Amino acid sequence: MEIATSPNGTRLLKVWFAILVVFLYAPLLLLLIFSFNDNNLPVFPLRGFTTDAYRQFVSNPELKASIVTSVKVAALSSLGAIILGLLASIVLVRRDFFGRGGVSALLLSPLVVPYIALAIGLLVFFNEASLPLGIKSIVMGHIVVSIPYAILILVPRLERLDARLEEAARDLGAGALQTFRLITFPLLLPALVSAYLVAFVLSFDEIVIAYFVNGQVTTFPLYLFSTLRFPTLLPQVLAVACVVMAASAFILIGAEIARRVIERRLGTDLSESAAEPA
């Protein structure tokens, strides 16, 4: 009997999992508690219950503008990352060419390159290329760091897809684009949704690259970093952090439910197609 499957091993794993959950989510619970505390500083004892921080957050145009900017950047960079990541994944999985390992390592290299070095390199590149700094430069920088995550999600999914389905569609007269639209894309849709959400969260929270190539644009993480010097603005930061966490949880839960529904529906359709007489 393996230790992990033994009764004592199972109980130990449950205890360890509970410790990890507390370690990860206890700080978030403290943020929620302090966001309703009638005090500019997040310290105990609590002075009283108030919702002033949420009202101040709603009436803060700079904070709301930074959130809107981050959402725009994240939406655009995530879309670019999954498009380029999808193309790269198809080439890596469906094509056999010389130097595939080197190309794969090059595409995944942003995972191991320090973000500050990558940010400085991007800043130098934009200056040498005379490209203006702003939302476009942040989007391009976030695409670079998001592509590896999209590839790591899409490649395993592509490898599990039976290439004979695509070959059968081509034998029946479907073109390359029609085969992709009717066969490959629906089967990849759950992985594409997952890759998009991962890239979106990564871009929304990223601060190092945005700090170097933002120009005059202020994203949400940059605004939060700048407000840490002003204790009077800290309650608003806690309030908006709670709102962002709640929205992220809602989006992720909804996306997971949608992913399972899509996979179940696709699995049912494929089973029904296989059961039909030739």
Tokens of 268: 């049912």
Least confident span in 72-86, 87-101, 172-186:
172-186
Which residues have a Cβ under 8 Å from the Cβ of 273 and sit 6 or more positions away?
Answer: none
Note the pLDDT of residue 278. 46
Note the pLDDT of residue 139. 92
Residue pair 155/82 in contact by the 8 Å Cβ criterion: no
The CA–CA distances, whole Å, from 27 to 42, 61, 159, 243 equal 12, 27, 39, 15
- Tell me the C-alpha distance between 249 and 258, whole Å: 14
pLDDT digits (tens, 9 = 90+) for 113-126: 888 989 999 999 98
Half-sphere exposure of 220 (CA within 13 A, CB side): 23
Query: In order of start, what are the domains of the chain with their CATH numbers?
Result: 47-275 (1.10.3720.10)
Three-state secondary structure call for residue 37 = strand
Q: Is the pLDDT of residue 184 over 60?
A: yes
Q: Is the pLDDT of residue 33 over 80?
A: yes
Which residues have a Cβ under 8 Å from the Cβ of 34 and sit 6 or more positions away?
Answer: 42, 235, 238
By CB atoms closer than 10 A (0-12, 13-18, 19+), residue 214 is buried
Selected residue with higher pLDDT from 60 and 209: 209
